[in-house]
Structure 1
Amino acid sequence: MSLLLIRGPERRAHHNEPPPPLPPQILRGLAARAAAAGKTLTVRVCANEAEYLHALDSARRAHTELLLLDPGSAAGSARLHEAVDHTGIPYIEVHDDACEAPEPRLPPSPACLAVAQGYRAQSYTLALEMALEHLGCAECESERHVGT
């Protein structure tokens, strides 16, 4: 597994729920872009913090190259912060909400390469481009170039 996108729970009506699915055209585009760069992209959708922690542990054991993390409502969890640091895997924090200036919601970490936020579902596309550039394969099959 090269890249792993983990989407965290959303808080609705006083309980956590999985985030709404990404639009199919975004998912297809992400998978196709990763494949064109010679990478695989796996997406994990988590309904609660425990699932998110399990996904991080699985990523560490699978020697994932880079994480795209959307912590959702688990962003304030001390256990999540510790687990992210424990993986030792570089990551890009992703948020699909509209915002003028990207702000990290996870605590500062040397493993955090960037924050992609403010472009709704396209934030995931931006994060993937940053990830591929970090891994040295951004120019494979693409004219796009995003600085990180």
Structure 2
Amino acid sequence: MTDEESEKRGSRRNRVLKEAFASFNEKFSAVPCVVRDISETGAKLRFMDMAVVPDRFTLVIPLDGIQVECERQWATSRDCGVRFTSAPEQSRLRRSQVVKAYRPGEAVIVTAPSKTQAADEEADASAFPDYNRARPQRAFGRRR
């Protein structure tokens, strides 16, 4: 990034990879996205399809438990840059993340299911026979 772009942006962006969604239509509609980088003044978002995302929306990031009003500044087919038009607020949607560090040399304990758990799973499988049966695989290409 050049000095001119950094000066234009106003604040430094931090690279992240967080699940989020764009909420609009008075919060009756939402489109999932991924926050790729974020700063105090805006963020870069990645959507599966930008066609359904309006110019103004509320960005909700459940992992941080925040929501913030946004305005789209630029867009490509999947990415867009947004400017925050309000201060971040606490969101009712909050998800916590627990990460346990792996330490080399520690034993990894894998337990086998108990007999009663295996019997319960077998009973569940027999209750939905159509769902659990193998489906035929179709070859790629045109049907004949």
What is the TM-score with the length of structure 1 in the denominator?
A: 0.21
Structure with greater proportional helix content? 1
Structure with greater proportional strand content? 2
What is the TM-score with the length of structure 2 in the denominator?
A: 0.21
Which one has the largest radius of gyration? 2
Higher RCO, Cα 8 Å, sep 6+: 1
